[in-house]
Amino acid sequence: MTAVLVIEDDDRIRLALLLALEEEGYSASGAATAEEGLRRQREEPADHVLVDLMLPGLDGFECIRRLRRDDDVPIVVVSARDDTHDIVAALEAGADDYVVKPVAIKELSARLRALRRRGRVLTDAVPAQVFGDLEISAEAGEVRRAGRPVAVTRTEFRLLCELAEHAGRVLSRQQLLRRVWGYETGDERLVDVHVGRLRQKIEPDPANPRHLVTLRGLGYKLQR
Amino acid sequence: MTAVLVIEDDDRIRLALLLALEEEGYSASGAATAEEGLRRQREEPADHVLVDLMLPGLDGFECIRRLRRDDDVPIVVVSARDDTHDIVAALEAGADDYVVKPVAIKELSARLRALRRRGRVLTDAVPAQVFGDLEISAEAGEVRRAGRPVAVTRTEFRLLCELAEHAGRVLSRQQLLRRVWGYETGDERLVDVHVGRLRQKIEPDPANPRHLVTLRGLGYKLQR
DNA sequence: CGGCTTTTGTCATGGAACTGTCATACAACC
DNA sequence: GGTTGTATGACAGTTCCATGACAAAAGCCG
C-alpha cells in the first residue's frame, strides 16, 4: 500500500487529512513538527510527504530542504497561504507540488497519483485492466489470456482498449469508428471485421464470445 | 534553451503567456487549437506543454490524452476553472500539474522547474539488471550474456539501458530517439538499425528475439 | 598529422504483417 | 419465408520492419 506522511501542526487538520487519505486507500501517518516528521521519514520512509509551511520550530521550507537532501520522495506542500512568493520558495526548496487549504481530498489524491506516475520508473508496476482471464496492459502494449501473451495488432489493441474503457456499456459501430479510427463516417462493416479478428485471438470459443459480445442492432460491449 | 508550447485559444492570454515565458528565459511557441498544438508537438516537441481546458474543437482533456499517448512531456493545465472535478479529470487524463488563471508567471516558472527536476531523477543511473541470461551492469558499463561479456558500443549500451530501465514497457521510436540520442526529432529507422545490431549481439537467435522484442506500430520493449 | 579501425547514421530493398473491401454464408427477428 | 443484421474467408493495397551495403564521423596509434 502506498504510504503517506503528513507533517502538520494543527491537530484537527492533520487528523482530517489522515482520515481522508486512509479513506482513499493510503496508509497515512502524521507528525506535528518538522523534526518529528524528518525522524519518521528517516526511520520508516513513506512514498509521499505532505508538509505544511507554518510549523513551530523548524519551518516548512527548511523541512523540505532537509527531506530532499537525503531522499527524493515526492513532496507536496499543503498550505493555507496562497501567495506566489511562498509557492515559488517552496518549489525552489525542493517541493514537487503546492496546494492551498482547504483542499479537496480527491484533488490531493489525483495530484499524488500524477506524481507517482511521473516517478513510475522507481516503482515499475505495470497496471493492467482485468476481465476474467483477460488482461489488458497499455503500458506493456500487450494482451494476455489466461496469463499467456496474445499478439494483437495496433488497431485491435485500440479497439479493445476503447471497449475496455467503457466496460459493460454498449458502444455503437459509429462510436467505435469515431474513437478508434477517427472516422467521422465510414463503413460499419469494418468494425465487424476487426471485432471478429479480435475474437479469434482473445475468446476461447470465438463463435460464442463471452467477453466481447454483440448487441444486435446496437453495437458491441466488453463484459467482465 | 527550454522550449514551452502553449495551447490556448484566447489570443490575448496566449500572447501574454508567451511573452512572460520568454521573459523568464524560455523559448515559447503557441497554438490556438488542440489540433494545431498536437501537430506542433509531433513535429517539433517542446520540453513542456501548457494547455487550456476549454478549447474549440478537440477539448483540453482529449488533447492531454493524445499528447500523453506518444510522449511523456510534462503537461501543465492552465485553466480558468477552479473545480475539483476538472482538476481530477485533467490529472487523470495525464496532466502533471494544474494551475488556475490568472497565474503568476513566477509560480508557473517554479512549477515547470519542479517538474523538470522530478523528470531528471528518473534518468539517473540504475544498478545491474538481469533479464534471463542477460545481465546489464550500468555501473561497470558492461553487458554479459550467459556469463560471458559481450562487446557493445556506447550507443547500443545506452539504448539497452534505456530499455532496461523501462523493462516490460513499450518505448516508441520517438521516445528512444529523444532519450538515447537526445534528438527531438529524427529518422525513426535509426532506432531499427541499432536495435538490429544489438540483437545480433545479445540474442541467441536474433531473428526470433526473446528479450528485445518489436511491438509493431508501437515500438520496442525489453522483457524478462 | 595521416592512415587505419571502429562506430554511427542513411538509404534501398525485400518481405512480412496489417488493413479495409467485398462477397457469401449464417443467424435473428418479424 | 422474407428481411435485416452479423460473421467470416479471401484478396489486394498498404504500411511497417529487418537487414545488408555504404559513406561519413569519430577514435586510435604510430
CA of B191 to C1' of C12 (A): 17
Q: What pLDDT, on a 0 to 100 scale, did the predictor assign at position A94?
A: 86
B93 has a pLDDT exceeding 80 = yes
- Residue B128 has a pLDDT of 60
Portion of chain B with pLDDT greater than 70, in percent: 91
Q: Which residues pair with B185 in a beta bridge?
A: none
Return the C-alpha cell found at B183: 534528438
% of chain A with per-residue pLDDT over 70 = 94
Q: Cβ separation of B221 and A140 shorter than 8 Å?
A: yes
What pLDDT is stored for residue A30 in this prediction? Answer: 93
B-chain CB neighbours of A126 within 8 Å are 168-169
Nearest nt to B209, CA vs C1'?
A: D18
Query: pLDDT tens digits for A192-220?
Result: 999 999 999 998 888 888 889 898 888 89
Q: Cβ neighbours of residue B88 under 8 Å, at least 6 residues apart? A: A106, A107, A109, A110
Q: Give the strand pairing for B142-145 and B148-150.
A: antiparallel
pLDDT digits (tens, 9 = 90+) for A100-112: 988 889 899 999 9
pTM, two decimals, is 0.54
The CATH number corresponding to B129-222 among 1.20.1250.20, 3.90.78.10, 3.30.420.40, 1.10.10.10 equals 1.10.10.10
Taking contacts as CB-CB distances below 8 angstroms, the residues of chain A near B219 are: 141
B32-72 pLDDT per residue, tens: 988 888 888 866 778 899 999 988 888 888 888 888 765 67
pLDDT band at A74 (very low <50, low <70, confident <90, very high): confident
Q: Is the pLDDT assigned to residue B100 strictly greater than 60? A: yes
Which cell numbers hold the place of B186?
A: 529524427
Q: Closest nucleotide to A218's CA, by C1' atom?
A: D5
pLDDT of residue A120: 45
C-alpha–C-alpha distance, residues B131 and B161, integer Å: 12
Q: Give the model's pLDDT for residue A126.
A: 40
Give the sheet arrangement for strand B148-150, strand by strand: B129-131, B134-137, B142-145, B148-150
CATH of span B2-116 = 3.40.50.2300
CB B131 within 8 A of CB B222: yes
DSSP letter at B133 equals T
| For chain B, percent of residues with pLDDT exceeding 90 | 31
Q: Does residue B121 carry a pLDDT above 50? A: no
The mean-pLDDT minimum among A48-52, B49-53, B121-125 falls in B121-125
Do β-strands B48-51 and B75-79 pair in parallel, antiparallel, or remain unpaired?
parallel
- As ranges, strand D nucleotides with an atom below 7 A of a protein CB are 5-10, 16-21
Domain boundaries, given as residue ranges, for chain B? 2-116, 129-222
Residue of A nearest to B70 (CA): A139
Own/partner contacts of B154-160, CB < 8 Å, gap of 24 or more, are B155/B180, B155/B181, B155/B194, B156/B194, B156/B197, B156/B198, B156/B201, B159/B191, B159/B194, B159/B195, B159/B198, B160/B136, B160/B198, B160/B202, B160/B222
Instruction: Say which nucleotide is closest to residue A151, CA to C1' distance.
Output: C17
CA dist A122 and B185 (Å) reads: 27
Q: Is the pLDDT of residue A77 over 90?
A: yes
